[in-house]
Structure 1
Amino acid sequence: MPPGATESPASPDAFASVRIMRAAYASAFDDDNPLAALGVGEQPEPAPPSPDWVTVEVKASSLNHHDLWSLRGVGLSAQQLPMILGCDAAGLDPSGAEVVVYAVIADSADPRGYSLLSERYPGTIAERVAVPRANVVPKPAGMSFADAACLPTAWLTAYRMLTTRGRIHEGESVLVQGAGGGVATAAVVLAAALGKRVYATSRDAAKRERIAALGATALEPGARLPERVDVVIETVGAATFDHSLKSAAFGGRIVVSGATAGHEPKVNLRRVFAMQLEILGTSMGTAEELAGLLTLCQERGISPVVDSVFPFSEVEAAFARLHSGDVFGKVVVDHTR
């Protein structure tokens, strides 16, 4: 369980409510065509199951590949359907304060010790979402709801990869594999904002051009780097892992948070022990790290990379955009439209 995750109540049955709201949800599972499993329409509003929970009025949410995996049936059972999708949101708490929702909830029923919103409890792509009071983090003044909604999953993961797990220090360098996706693009922006030398790979020439504009030296996958790097941000997996090993400096840290192109890479163990490399797994981050990320963005003037913004009335198109694989940055849903 990530430190800072808040404890969930014993049963989600208390979520039953007669109030109705609009939401996007998994109505079925379809591994071949996850968009066919997407439902949009009225769902019961989740009521706070205990005094320690609050309801947030969602102003903006953003999509993650986690939502597509949910539509494929990963992490959910048929008994949980329909399940409201979404991990990321920003909106108003019951007092009217502007907040960002932290998606990690401690969950003793899950082997990880925690679950994300939309796995056990209803998610954020809805008019309202119920969360533990400790899961609402103040939104910096001046940051838009759309930008804030990009941060709690992909950007928080990237922030933790660089700082807590990657332990990036002054003067060190970073390689980001497969830049263009949410976590990898966030890592490029954050590493550049922290003053690091950043290298990033992408198969797509147009994406390499956009990556370069964000402050990285953009390279084709497998290209030789000008130097071995101290930290590698790895979200691709088998397709890039050998290159990640070869690109790491002595004592380098390879931080892994995904495996979009294969989860069983061949690992040259001789290189691992000879170069004294660290291979570190991570996922998400703590509520305190989310607060730190929000502060960093405010202090450094960092804006999340947004691929596109869709009104809630076009949420199906937002999912189709994410599913296309052509995104660069985050897909945002504006709940005010």
Structure 2
Amino acid sequence: MRAECSRKITFLNYVLSGLIVLLHSCDIIRTTEFSAVVENGEIILICKMLERLGKVAVPTFFALSGYLFFRDCNYQNIRRKITSRMKSLVIPFCFWNIFFYCVYIALNNVPGIGSRINFEIPRFWVKAFIINNVVNPPMWFLSRLIVLHISALIGLFLFKKIRSYNLSWIIALMTVDLIIGFGYQSPLHWGGVYYLGGYMAYFYSDVVENKGVFGRIPTVIRGILLGGLAIATLFLWEWIFAPLLVWLVMDMLKDFSVKPIMKASFFIMCTHYFGVRVVRKVLTILLGISPQVMLLNLLLTAAVVFLLASIVDMLFRKWMPNLHTLVCGGR
């Protein structure tokens, strides 16, 4: 992979992790504290649009994961790739779930804090942690990604055996999902976009990684295409159109350098949910409750958590590099 493309992916991951923080900060509209002020239509509309923007990150992450897995993938190295992905996903998945389980238990036993967290400690059983992700909900992404990586051997077989129709079976999977609905957190729901990323890597990585491919399209057509994709992403099916929209935007970016702080995306993904809950609670106490404050709380929560998690990751990476490598999958 060209160095410039690698830098773009690092930058993209960092931006997407910020959108994930924004997405979960939007949960403020569902909290009991602000249940009385959700009648304000304008504020709720803004919050809903921000939430929709945050959702762009989820399908893009799945598509990017599929792309990186199937790039240079073949029968000789797929076992190594699957083993490597399992190590870099299963260990962080287990560690961060157990870590925050212990954190919540500790905080719930501190006078004055447990009642404010409003968190019911679940029994330590498999379904609660692996399927429902009750302790750290964003970790559902890792558990579903693990399933998709395990199924990659099937995808590779289909890419090789029915080359002329491999895109059609991906489209068929997406179509079935649109008709019957597999469920937002189902691996089948994200299988289409994951394998679409894999399809682009397996057959067209040279096009994807070629600098400025999209920029060669006439400006007017490029603007119409971007506008159409943006509308489709925000108002139709973001899980289908978002990855293409993001790729087209990234393709237009010029040369740039990647800062060390931009390597924090995986750490942010694993830890931000706890930070969002704490910062939101603190801001609610400090700022009070009103429609305008709700929007301010949302934006400040997203910004503060994103910045703090980025800084903590840099310090963690510097002071405990071996542990960081283990619990962040080497990222």
Q: Same fold (TM over 0.5)?
A: no
Which has the higher relative contact order, 1 or 2, with Cα contacts under 8 A spaced 6 or more apart? 2
TM-score normalised to the size of structure 1? 0.26
TM-score (norm 2): 0.27
Greater percentage in helix:
2
